[in-house]
Amino acid sequence: MNRGLAELHPYPFERMARLKTAGRPCTGASEIDLGIGEPQEPVPEPVANALREHLPLIGRYPSTRGTERLRTAIAEWLTRRFALPSGVVHPGHHVLPVAGTREALFAIAQTVVGRGRPYIAMPNPFYQIYEGAALLSGARPLHLPVDPQRGLPALERIAPETWSDIQLLYLNSPANPTGAVADAAYYAQLLELSERYGFIIAADECYSELYTDEAAPPDSLLHACHAAGYPDFKRCLVFQSLSKRSSVPGLRSGFVAGDPGLIHAFSRYRTYQGCAQPLPHQEAAAAAWADEAHVQQTRRRYAERLRRMAAILDGVLEDVRVPAATFYLWPRTPIDDADFARQLWEAENVTVLPGSFLSRAQADGHDPGAGRVRIAAVPDLETCEEAAQRIKRFVEGRLC
């Protein structure tokens, strides 16, 4: 057996299910689940139409590298969205469609980790796939504590000897769960460290289109690379998905883009892994990347929910901020985060995710996710407002 299997932690939602087994809601109110960040928006019409039109293609094998039409749609989207010069992103050299970012973020570690026991660095709190990828590739996960003010790992606190042992670093911007966004200075600092120590950057950007200020869309590592003088995106990969942008998590469609040498190696790995997307899915994905109207509408709905929920909870919970991006609130709790989540569910039938389920205690004993909860504003506006009112009522003293 793979020795890393014994080191895997239970997934956050598995832990949440266990937390609920000790009790039950004592209210007749309907359940509101703000724990899982699963979009509940309507499927965009261009995606649905493409799936219907191209369903007969299900009878053909897809190639691992994806269709030229899909790779071209992705390259054109990256060029438009991040103001890259025409031709900088080549569909054949820089782009690889994948079966969602989860599959690709996990598999990239299996592709690039060499011999020995190098570090794979990741933010803390984090998306648990990063940790699982490290453990099952034979590497050591290195949890980088997130600066509470910046919402991203404090890179300057990492010792030089530690950087020398890092082979892969996961960057999550916009960040789940903090909602923080890396700026140009942060990208420049990270790129300089990568150049100095030789580690690969895997930038998880799947929330890049869910921002709350239309005048401040998040940047991409690809744009930062080009601006810094790395036109071929040396040692850099970005991971994108349609799950959040286009509200189609069941389509299992995303892409990896960046360093052509890494793209070639990853494509070779995935040829054996066997995760090529069905051809109807690829046609639907190409239609999704070509359409921005549905994304703009979805983004505005999320922003409105976050603002309305934050307004209700302001002064009720600490550190209630409308994030720069994502669809999460990340407030502090007045009691232990797991106790808060359990008691809230029992009292008001509202599920939120304890922050400590998304983090690990550091060597000094500090757990950067403890004492917070992640609240996913994924139901409709009315339901989100109702959930916020129930949370307010619970905090103000309405316990069972």
Please answer whether residues 170 and 122 qualify as being in contact, where contact means their C-beta atoms are separated by less than 8 angstroms: yes
pLDDT at site 5: 87
Q: Report CA dihedral (270, 272, 275, 279) to the nearest 10 degrees.
A: 100
DSSP codes of every residue in 257-312:
EE-HHHHHHHHHHHHHHT-PPPHHHHHHHHHHHT--HHHHHHHHHHHHHHHHHHHH
pLDDT at site 361: 92
The domains located in the chain, with CATH, are 3-42+294-395 (3.90.1150.10), 45-291 (3.40.640.10)
pLDDT at site 394: 96
Q: Take residue 114 and report the two structure tokens written for it.
A: 């060499």
Give pairs for 83-89: CB < 8 Å, separation 24+.
83/223, 84/222, 84/223, 84/226, 85/226, 88/226, 88/231, 89/222, 89/257
Closest C-alpha among 370, 385, 378, 44 to residue 207: 378
pLDDT at site 25: 84
Please answer whether residues 289 and 338 qualify as being in contact, where contact means their C-beta atoms are separated by less than 8 angstroms: no
Hey, which residues does 241 pair with through a beta bridge? 254
Hey, which residues does 207 pair with through a beta bridge? none
pLDDT at site 21: 86
pTM tops 0.85: yes
pLDDT at site 398: 56
Residue ranges in 212-259 assigned as alpha helix (H): 221-227, 242-245
Backbone angles phi, psi at 376, to 5 degrees: -95, 120
pLDDT in 10s for each residue of the chain, 400 residues: 888 888 888 888 888 888 888 778 888 889 999 999 999 999 999 999 999 999 999 999 999 999 999 999 999 999 999 999 999 999 999 999 999 999 999 999 999 997 778 999 999 999 999 999 999 999 999 999 898 888 999 998 899 999 999 999 999 999 999 999 999 999 999 999 999 999 999 999 999 999 999 999 999 999 999 999 988 999 999 999 999 999 999 999 999 999 999 999 999 999 998 888 999 999 999 999 999 999 999 999 999 999 999 999 999 999 999 999 999 999 999 999 999 999 999 999 999 999 999 999 988 888 999 999 999 999 999 999 999 999 999 999 854 4
Please answer whether residues 178 and 185 qualify as being in contact, where contact means their C-beta atoms are separated by less than 8 angstroms: no
Q: Take residue 370 and report the two structure tokens written for it.
A: 């403890």
Please answer whether residues 237 and 262 qualify as being in contact, where contact means their C-beta atoms are separated by less than 8 angstroms: yes
Give the angle subtended at the CA of 357 by the CAs of 353 and 363, to the nearest 5°: 145
How far apart CA 150 and CA 148 sit, in angstroms, is 6
Residue ranges in 32-119 assigned as alpha helix (H): 45-53, 68-81, 101-112
pLDDT at site 10: 85
